[in-house]
Homo-oligomer: A and B are copies of this chain.
Amino acid sequence: MTSKTANSIIRFRTANCVAVLDREHAGTTAHDVLGFGGALPVVASMRDGLALGADTVLIGLAPMGGRMPADWHAWLLEAVQAGCDVWNGLHVFLNDDPALAEAARISGAVLHDLRRPPADLTIASGKARELHAFVVLTVGTDCNVGKMTGQLQLVDDLKAQGIRTRFVATGQTGIMIEGWGIAVDAVVADFVAGAAERLTLEGAEGAEVVLVEGQGSINHPGYSGVTLGLLHGSCPSAMILCHQATRTHIGDYRDNAGLKIPPLGDYVRLYELLGNAVHPTRVIAISLNTYDLNEVEAHEACAAATAATGLPCTDPVRFGPAVLTRAVQEAQALWQSRRNARD
């Protein structure tokens, strides 16, 4: 339950959950383990989950490479035979598993393979450059630093300010939370920017601000291509740079490659340089994940990020998203006045 997907569903969709299946922590609650999620019980088996009334299994794991642990097949089959739908964000598709597909056919359960891309994707056309909505993309210093979490805090705050705001999910967790989107890391590489463009156009319908969920990092040895495709396909007018304050190395590569995370200012310049190659854009704020710092350290980390970049910074989970909300509002107002002057 310490995986990103499980965490985010427990955080943002607590009311939709009846139990967490995690043999290691069985008998505790979500709050005991994570510090959020309230009294949501942690159970040891699918049977215990079914007894609590589960009608859907959400696969909360997002392992590197997206394969399924071998010992999951048995309890997933048990769930599907009991009529449970499954929301699956792995690169492996459950509908392609004969035993699971057959069990679903018999029980009437639906297997949602969230990472299965639409069949009609295309190369990006550049249409996202001409939107009347203000597009904000989160970009990061690494994977799993809080790009989606920060933005989900921000979307409600912008709506509360009366701004018609839409969150666009580009990964399996965001899709589970929002109910729509495309996992851009699972599309054919030629179509990453095209998928990002399509999502951004759809998100912009009736919206003033579109928050596009970022993925990976521009210097991540494994995922940088997805990051850049997303940047060039969604054509954001503003970016929010996300970082986890205590992280010193690119996450998944700490052991075999030793890639240090460069200073935040380097990321700002790099993302702006690359983004501007296709569409005018700038980094407008820093979203800092300070979960493993104390209150004083967290404030210091935000102040240090601002000193290093000249940009406003907050931890939107810990301190609320007001700093980011203001940055988006100001940037949007400036962008709008320039557009008005041009038209």
Interface residues of A, Cβ cutoff 8 Å to B: 64-66, 91, 122-127, 129, 184-190, 192-194, 218-230, 232-233, 252-253, 256-257, 259, 262, 270, 273-274, 277-278
A277: chain B residues at CB < 8 Å are 218-219, 224, 259, 262, 270
Question: When the two chains form the complex, which single residue of B126, B187, B253 contacts A257, counting CB atoms closer than 8 Å?
Answer: B126
Copies in the complex: 2
11 additional contacts (CB under 8 A) given A66-B190, A224-B228: A65-B122, A127-B256, A184-B189, A185-B188, A186-B188, A188-B188, A193-B222, A219-B277, A222-B233, A224-B277, A228-B228
- Can you name the residue of chain B whose Cβ is closest to the Cβ of A196? B225
A185: chain B residues at CB < 8 Å are 188-190
Also in contact, A221 and B257, with CB within 8 A (given A122-B65, A190-B66)? no
- Can you name the residue of chain B whose Cβ is closest to the Cβ of A194? B222
Question: When the two chains form the complex, which single residue of B218, B257, B274 contacts A129, counting CB atoms closer than 8 Å?
Answer: B257
A186: chain B residues at CB < 8 Å are 188-190
- Can you name the residue of chain B whose Cβ is closest to the Cβ of A195? B189
Whether B221 lies near A278 (C-beta < 8 A) is yes
Question: When the two chains form the complex, which single residue of B188, B252, B278 contacts A189, counting CB atoms closer than 8 Å?
Answer: B188
